[in-house]
């Protein structure tokens, strides 16, 4: 394997293995090698958390293990974030992001936020356990182009549908794109509630949003 492939494996494995020091060491090696920090986050740290999530679903990992994995991931992020090359293409479009009401799992949401900022978006993070109306009110307040909704729980998925219904009620659905994601979310669910974008990971979410703007600014017609 190449140095890049070796380090990607190190980053991913160290997150899964809950090895914070090893994650920091691998992240520092990555920076010294002059490689793109974005790839380390996307293919290394994010992949490690995805693998940890699978182990959680299989009941091989539980909440304490998942938290230690996230600690390792955030330790790596602290090293890599200052070296991200932020996109400066055009105006900064605004994204309101958060975890829907009833859910406090925000690892995926935090990764999407970082990737969105790297792609040049201005991200307004509402945090976790966010009521549907708060997404809509903040979107109206800041003039956001996208609402990005996350959940890891099947019991809170309905909150995403509520956000879309509230956007329609306020008469602004046609000018705001709704992006959804998280463990239990699928394309069929996105189609059912009328969401505009569904992606399986943070990098795809950010790149999909950027591509939509690149195609004649379809989301900026207000």
Question: Is the per-residue pLDDT at 89 higher than 80?
Answer: no
CATH code that applies to domain 90-217: 3.40.50.280
Name the token pair of 138.
């903040």
Q: What is the pLDDT of residue 215?
A: 61
Indicate the pLDDT class of residue 19, thresholds 50, 70 and 90.
very high
Average pLDDT of the segment spanning 46-61: 84
Instruction: Please tell me which residue, 9 or 216, carries the higher pLDDT value.
Output: 9
Average pLDDT of the segment spanning 27-48: 92
pLDDT per residue as tens digits for the range 90-119: 468 999 999 999 999 888 898 888 888 877
Annotated domain spans of the chain:
3-88, 90-217
Q: What is the pLDDT of residue 141?
A: 97
Using DSSP's 3-state secondary structure scheme, residue 215 falls into coil
Distance of CA 63 to the CA centre of its chain: 20
| Residue-level length of the chain | 222
Average pLDDT of the segment spanning 29-36: 95
Average pLDDT of the segment spanning 188-201: 94
**What residues contact 128, with CB distance under 8 A and at least 6 apart?**
98, 99, 103, 104, 105, 106, 109
Average pLDDT of the segment spanning 187-194: 97
Percent of the chain surpassing pLDDT 90: 62
Q: What is the pLDDT of residue 221?
A: 33
Using DSSP's 3-state secondary structure scheme, residue 32 falls into helix
Burial class (CB in 10 A: 0-12, 13-18, 19+), 187: exposed
pLDDT per residue as tens digits for the range 145-186: 999 999 989 999 999 999 999 999 999 999 999 999 998 999
CATH number 1.10.1240.10 is the correct assignment for the domain at 3-88: yes
Name the token pair of 139.
């979107």
């Amino acid at each position: 394997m190449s140095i890049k492939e070796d380090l990607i494996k190190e980053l991913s494995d160290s997150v899964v293995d809950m090895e914070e020091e090893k994650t920091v060491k691998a992240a520092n090696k990555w920076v010294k090698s002059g490689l793109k920090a974005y790839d380390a986050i996307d293919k290394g740290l994010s992949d490690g958390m995805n693998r940890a999530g699978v182990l959680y679903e299989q009941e091989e990992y539980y909440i304490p293990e998942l938290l230690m994995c996230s600690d390792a991931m955030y330790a790596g992020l602290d090293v890599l974030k200052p070296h991200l090359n932020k996109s400066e293409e055009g105006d900064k479009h605004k994204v309101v992001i958060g975890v829907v009401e009833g859910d406090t799992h925000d690892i995926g949401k935090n990764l999407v936020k970082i990737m969105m900022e790297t792609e040049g978006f201005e991200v307004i993070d509402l945090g976790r356990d966010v009521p549907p109306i708060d997404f809509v009110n903040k979107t109206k307040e800041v003039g956001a182009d996208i609402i990005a909704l996350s959940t890891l729980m099947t019991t809170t998925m309905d909150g995403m549908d509520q956000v879309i219904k509230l956007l329609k009620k306020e008469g602004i659905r046609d000018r705001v794109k709704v992006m959804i994601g998280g463990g239990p979310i699928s394309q069929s669910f996105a189609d059912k509630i009328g969401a505009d974008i569904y992606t399986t990971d943070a990098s795809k979410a950010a790149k999909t949003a950027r591509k939509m703007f690149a195609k004649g600014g379809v989301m900026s017609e207000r």
